Amino acid sequence: MREITETCIEAFGPLRCMFESDFPVDRGAFSYHTYWNAGKRIAAGYGVSEKAAMMSGTAKRVYSISL
């Protein structure tokens, strides 16, 4: 997962990327906890604003979500 994800982040930049899942369908391959821990590990080398974008900000912007 790391290689593919990092390639995409490099190509598009962290402000245009978002972590997502297909749960509960993905449950057959890995747990939700495992998935999000992998995302956090991949994002660990980025700054606070870049992490926020990949974990929620880009999705909020793209899908016009206001909380």
pLDDT of residue 55: 94
Q: What is the pLDDT along the chain (67 residues), one digit of tens a residue?
A: 899 999 999 999 999 999 988 888 888 888 889 988 999 999 999 999 999 999 999 999 999 998 7
Distance CA 58, CA 35 (A): 18
Distance CA 3, CA 67 (A): 32
The amino acid that residue 35 corresponds to is Y
Kindly report the pTM of this predicted structure.
0.82
